[in-house]
Amino acid sequence: MTGTRVAIVTGGSRGIGAAVVRKLAQQGYDVVVNYAGNAEAAEKAVAAATGAGARTIAVAADVADETAVERLFDAAQDAFGGVDVVVHAAGRMVLAPIAELDLSDLDALHRTNIRGTFVVAQQAARRVRAGGAIVTFSTSVVGLQLPTYGAYVASKAAVEGITMVLARELRGRDITVNAVAPGPTATALFLDGKDEATVERMAKQPPLERLGRPEDIAETVAFLAGPGGRWVNGQVLRANGGIV
């Protein structure tokens, strides 16, 4: 398609989401930065994208609230004329053994990760233009099945299922739908609550022997969203440095 492409990035105010915002801005997209509550972080993401030459706005929305998400897509339409790429990076993580997990934490995690993905996917399916792309976020822990990740893995396995079904439902629309499943990545979400020994051990898991960087994941997302990724559809891309 011709003209400037428009991207919505949920969870775009920090971590991997903010890196995706910067990368897409550098590639010439107009970008809508969605955030949950940290307006200051969102404005920093907007400033970084604007500095890269992109037209950028920030829009607050709870991704699990269908009315708020509809307004988010309306804002993209009003500001930039449409939506070509949706990157759903917003998410929540709670770690605890299954036997000990507080079920209120389970409900909150699943509201954001499962319902949030479904709500964003629903609007994306209705709004993304032909030639566009939808990218969701899973985790490589779905395959690794590490202790204490039970609730998180359950939610992200659901994300993978939603994503694969949506790819098939959009047959004939010329829209790709894929999930990115990062391995250990040096973000605040990952590092929170982990001691130095745990971080070091997890950094040694991939053959490349380091943690992923948000920029590594952003490059993967940009590939799936761009012209080079048009023949990749209905896949889970495990961006984890080679962990199996």
3-class SS string, the chain: CCCCCEEEEECCCCHHHHHHHHHHHHCCCEEEEEECCCHHHHHHHHHHHHHCCCCEEEEECCCCCHHHHHHHHHHHHHHHCCEEEEEECCCCCCCCCCCCCCHHHHHHHHHHHHHHHHHHHHHHHHHEEEEEEEEEECCCHHHHCCCCCHHHHHHHHHHHHHHHHHHHHCCCCCCEEEEECCCCECCHHHHCCCCHHHHHHHHCCCCCCCCECHHHHHHHHHHHHCHHHCCCCCCEECCCCCCC
Tokens of 75: 């804002």
Domain annotation covers residue 202:
no
Domain annotation covers residue 188:
no
Q: For 117-126, b where at least 16 C-beta lie within 10 A, e where not — what string? A: bbbbbebbbe
Q: Alpha-carbon distance 188 to 13, whole Å?
A: 12
Q: What is the pLDDT along the chain (244 residues), one digit of tens a residue?
A: 447 999 999 999 999 999 999 999 999 999 999 999 999 999 999 999 999 999 999 999 999 999 999 999 999 999 999 999 999 999 999 999 999 999 999 999 999 999 999 999 999 999 999 999 999 999 999 999 999 999 999 999 999 999 999 999 999 999 999 999 999 999 887 887 788 999 999 899 999 999 999 999 999 999 999 999 999 999 999 999 999 8
| Of 168, 86, 90, 173, residue with least CA distance to 133 | 86
51: containing domain: 6-182+221-237
What residues are labeled active site?
Answer: 152
* Structural domains of the chain, count: 1
If one counts every other C-beta atom within 10 angstroms of the C-beta of residue 4, the result is 12
pTM of the entire predicted model? 0.95
Domain annotation covers residue 205:
no
CATH number at residue 171: 3.40.50.720
Q: Is residue 158 within 8 Å of 113, Cβ to Cβ?
A: yes
